[in-house]
């Protein structure tokens, strides 16, 4: 009986090991996808995890992509740069440098200045801040706070969860304005005609930033009108005075005739 059982148990053990190895292989091959955002404008998408690999295209700042759970290091390069495998919105897949991709994040833009904090605590405020119209990648949310990273990863930290727009049109509008004028704040330095011309061809007129440009135009026009008003009043007063002065000789002439 023992002679019969030993081969049987050995057979069961072999099957069990084979199943475990297969399950392990399947687990290793499973891809854990995650939302991600491009934080570096024009970063390359390549066929392989190498700067020498075939170029497939570029990714724009603020563009949403899907992280495919794979990371590789280009060991043949001097910089030993790391790459993420990502999928674009059109289904195209490739590898991009990790410095240009923020994982588990979504795009956003600020509609007001926001002070950067080291942690989600008012006592950890830094001297840095995000300005009106700056792009941010929203990574984490806690009660009243949001963890963010800015373009090219130059600024990061926690900001208060307010004044943030996440609609794709708002993000696109702010990024386009920043590319054209340098920043949304610099719109104030542009003249009325420049702003009118830009707004005329702007495809996001109904966004916060489109309305912001329109408001700036109105304020600048009113300022010009206000500056011209005193000159017009002064001119009118001068004309009135001249008319009054011109009437005096006529009255004097009449008086002399009466005499």
pTM reported for the whole predicted model? 0.76
- Tell me, what's the pLDDT at 242? 60
- pLDDT tens by residue, 153-194: 999 999 999 999 999 999 999 999 999 999 999 999 999 999
Determine the Cα–Cα distance for residues 76 and 96; give it in Å rounded to an integer.
16
- The domains found in the chain, sorted by start residue, are 34-103 (2.30.30.40), 106-218 (2.30.30.40)
Tell me how far apart the alpha carbons of residues 168 and 63 are, in angstroms, rounded to a whole number.
9
pLDDT band per the 50, 70, 90 thresholds, residue 253? very low
Q: Flag whether pLDDT at 29 surpasses 60.
A: no
pLDDT at 244 over 90: no
Strands (E), the chain: 34-38, 43-46, 55-59, 64-73, 82-87, 93-97, 101-103, 106-110, 114-117, 125-130, 135-142, 145-150, 156-160, 164-165
Do 152 and 40 contact (CB within 8 A), yes or no? yes
Residue 26 has pLDDT above 70, yes or no: no
- 226 confidence band (pLDDT: 50, 70, 90): confident
Instruction: Tell the burial category of 32 from Cβ atoms under 10 Å away from its Cβ (0-12, 13-18, 19+).
Output: exposed
Instruction: Indicate whether 58 pLDDT > 70.
Output: yes
Higher-scoring residue by pLDDT: 11, 99: 99
């Amino acid at each position: 009986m023992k002679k019969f059982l030993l081969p049987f148990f050995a057979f069961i053990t072999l099957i069990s090991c084979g199943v475990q190895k297969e399950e392990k292989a399947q687990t290793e091959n499973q891809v854990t996808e995650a939302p991600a955002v491009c934080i570096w404008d024009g970063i390359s998408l390549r066929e392989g995890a190498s700067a020498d690999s075939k170029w497939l295209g570029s990714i724009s700042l603020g563009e949403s992509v899907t992280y495919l759970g794979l990371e590789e290091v280009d060991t043949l390069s001097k910089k030993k740069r790391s790459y993420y495998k990502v999928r674009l919105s059109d289904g195209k897949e490739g590898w991009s440098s990790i410095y240009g991709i923020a994982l588990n994040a979504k795009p956003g833009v600020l509609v007001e200045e926001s002070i950067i904090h080291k942690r989600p605590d008012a006592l950890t405020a830094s001297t840095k801040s995000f300005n009106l119209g700056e792009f941010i990648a929203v990574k984490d949310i806690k009660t009243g706070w949001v963890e963010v990273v800015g373009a090219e990863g130059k600024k990061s930290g926690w900001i208060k969860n307010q004044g943030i727009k996440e609609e794709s049109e708002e993000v696109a509008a702010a990024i386009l304005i920043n590319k054209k004028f340098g920043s949304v704040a610099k719109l104030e330095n542009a003249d009325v005609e420049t702003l009118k011309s830009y707004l005329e061809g702007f495809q996001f007129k109904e966004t916060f930033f489109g309305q912001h440009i329109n408001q700036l135009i109105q304020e600048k026009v009113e300022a010009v009108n206000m500056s011209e008003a005193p000159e017009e009043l002064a001119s009118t007063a001068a004309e009135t005075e001249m008319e009054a002065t011109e009437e005096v000789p006529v009255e004097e002439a009449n008086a002399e005739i009466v005499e």
